[in-house]
Amino acid sequence: MASAVDLKSEGRDTAYVSTILKRSQKAVDALNLKDKKVAQDVLNIIANRYFELNDIYELRDRKLKAIKADTTMTAAQRADGKRFAEYEVSNALYRTHFAFPAALSVYLNDDQIETVKDAITFNVVKVTYKATLDMIPSLKDEEKTQILVWLKEARELAIDAESSKKKHEVFGKYKGRINNYLTARGYDLKKERAEWYKRLEARKAKEAKGKEAKGKKK
């Protein structure tokens, strides 16, 4: 039996802890775990990762603030200090990134860990992948594979991003890469998107008629 995971909330603002627990609970809810103890341990692992990320970025922000306030530094020294502060963030993220899924693996299988990753990155991988395939039905298997690989690569980076905005920015960059890839493969994305919108409108109209017909039957 794995030991219980302690919530590392000591010394943290109670309102912040509450927010993180609510955010983490959404990921746990997506798992539909029946064992309450396992669910609690998984919740604490997810919340602790949020706390860890917050500590990493808060330390960087304090250092950047100190650099900005130090009037004795030259412009070159200030630039070097900022670069080193960002380097320390990258180094800390690299050292801790794989510990998160490793901790989850004590309680969850690979598919469940994927679910957690998707939940804390707003399900962008699934939503974008599904939408892309729906927009371009003629995609080849190797193109579908490449798109999914890039989206999951983006997710790995987004997991460690400091805010929801930064998470979406990571996906935005990879979506741009995907668009460039598809254009290079000969797809006219403007045309594909226009045709897709037409299909979506047709589906909505069909669904509306179906609901209207059911309503009349009642």
Question: Is the per-residue pLDDT at 56 higher than 90?
Answer: yes
Give residue-wise pLDDT tens across range 110-160: 999 999 999 999 999 999 999 999 999 999 999 999 999 999 999 999 999
The share of the chain scoring above pLDDT 70, in percent, equals 98
pLDDT band at 218 (very low <50, low <70, confident <90, very high): low
- Here the tokens at position 97 are 């990134």
Listed by start position, the domains of the chain span 14-108, 118-217
Q: Residue 201's CB: how many other CB atoms inside 10 A?
A: 10
- Alpha-carbon distance of 53 to 12, in angstroms, equals 13
The whole-number pLDDT of residue 3 equals 58
- Alpha-carbon distance of 79 to 125, in angstroms, equals 35
Question: Is the per-residue pLDDT at 2 higher than 60?
Answer: no
Would you list the DSSP string of 16-41? HHHHHHHHHHHHHHTTT-S-HHHHHH
In this structure, is the dihedral angle defined by the CA atoms of residues 105, 110, 114 and 116, taken in order, positive or negative?
negative
61-80 b/e with 16+ CB inside 10 Å = b?
eebeeebeeeeeeeeeeeee
The answer for residues whose C-beta is within 8 angstroms of residue 133's C-beta and 6 or more apart is: 139, 144
Least confident of 15-29, 102-116, 203-217: 203-217
DSSP 8-state symbol, 12: S
- Alpha-carbon distance of 109 to 101, in angstroms, equals 10
Question: Is the per-residue pLDDT at 85 higher than 90?
Answer: yes
- DSSP E strands, the chain: none
